[in-house]
Structure 1
Amino acid sequence: MTDPALSLDRVSLTLDGNAGPVEILHSVSLEVDRGQTLGLVGPSGSGKSSLLMLMGGLEAATSGTITALGQDLTAMDEDGLARFRRDNMGVVFQSFHLIPTMTALENVATPLELAGHRDAFERAEAELEAVGLAHRAGHYPGQMSGGEQQRVALARAAAPRPAILLADEPTGNLDETTGGTIIDLLFGLRDRHGATLVMVTHALELARRCDRVVRLRDGRIETPEARAAE
Structure 2
Amino acid sequence: MNTVLSLKDARLALDGNAGRIKILHGISLDVAKGETLGLVGPSGSGKSSLLMLMGGLELATGGEISALGKNLSTMTEDQLARFRRDHMGVVFQSFHLIPTMTALENVATPMELAGHKDAFERAMAELEAVGLAHRADHFPRQMSGGEQQRVALARAVAPRPDILLADEPTGNLDQSNGQAIIDLLFQLRDRHEATLVLVTHSNELARRCDRVVRLRDGRVEPQEAAA
TM over 0.5: yes
SS of 2:64's partner is strand
Aligned to 2:216: 217
Aligned to 1:143: 142
Rounded Cα–Cα distance in structure 2 between residues aligned with 1:129 and 1:23 = 44
Q: TM-score of the superposition, structure 1-length normalised?
A: 0.96
Structure 2, unpaired ranges of 5+ = none
Aligned to 1:116: 115
CA shift for structure 1 position 224: 5.9
Rounded Cα–Cα distance in structure 2 between residues aligned with 1:181 and 1:146 = 12
Aligned residue runs from structure 1 range 49-64, under 5 A: 49-64=48-63
CA shift for structure 1 position 79: 0.4
CA shift for structure 1 position 42: 0.2
Aligned to 1:228: none
Rounded Cα–Cα distance in structure 2 between residues aligned with 1:111 and 1:165 = 15
SS of 1:100's partner is coil
Rounded Cα–Cα distance in structure 1 between residues aligned with 2:84 and 2:125 = 21
Rounded Cα–Cα distance in structure 2 between residues aligned with 1:224 and 1:50 = 19
Aligned to 1:75: 74
Off by >2 Å, runs of 4+ in structure 1: none
CA contact (8 A) 2:14 2:20 kept: yes
CA contact (8 A) 2:213 2:223 kept: no
1:191 aligns with 2:193: no
Aligned to 1:181: 180
**What per-residue deviation string (whole Å, max 9, x for no partner) do you get for residues 121-172 of structure 1?**
0000000000000000000000000000000000000000000000000000
* Partner AA of 1:202 in structure 2: H
1:207 aligns with 2:206: yes
SS of 1:44's partner is coil
Seen in structure 2, the aligned counterparts of structure 1 residues 224 and 190 have a Cα distance that, compared at 3 Å, is closer
Aligned to 1:163: 162
SS of 2:171's partner is coil
Rounded Cα–Cα distance in structure 1 between residues aligned with 2:223 and 2:185 = 29
* Partner AA of 1:147 in structure 2: G
**What per-residue deviation string (whole Å, max 9, x for no partner) do you get for residues 25-84 of structure 1?**
000000000000000000000000000000000001000100000100001000000000
CA shift for structure 1 position 223: 1.7
Rounded Cα–Cα distance in structure 2 between residues aligned with 1:63 and 1:135 = 47
Q: TM-score of the superposition, structure 2-length normalised?
A: 0.97
SS of 2:89's partner is strand
* Partner AA of 1:89 in structure 2: M
Aligned to 2:127: 128
Aligned to 2:152: 153
Rounded Cα–Cα distance in structure 2 between residues aligned with 1:72 and 1:111 = 24
* Partner AA of 1:24 in structure 2: I
Structure 1, unpaired ranges of 5+ = 226-230
- State the number of aligned residues: 224
1:14 aligns with 2:16: no
CA shift for structure 1 position 205: 1.5
SS of 1:5's partner is strand
Aligned to 1:47: 46
SS of 1:54's partner is helix
CA contact (8 A) 2:212 2:223 kept: no
Aligned to 1:98: 97
* Partner AA of 1:17 in structure 2: G
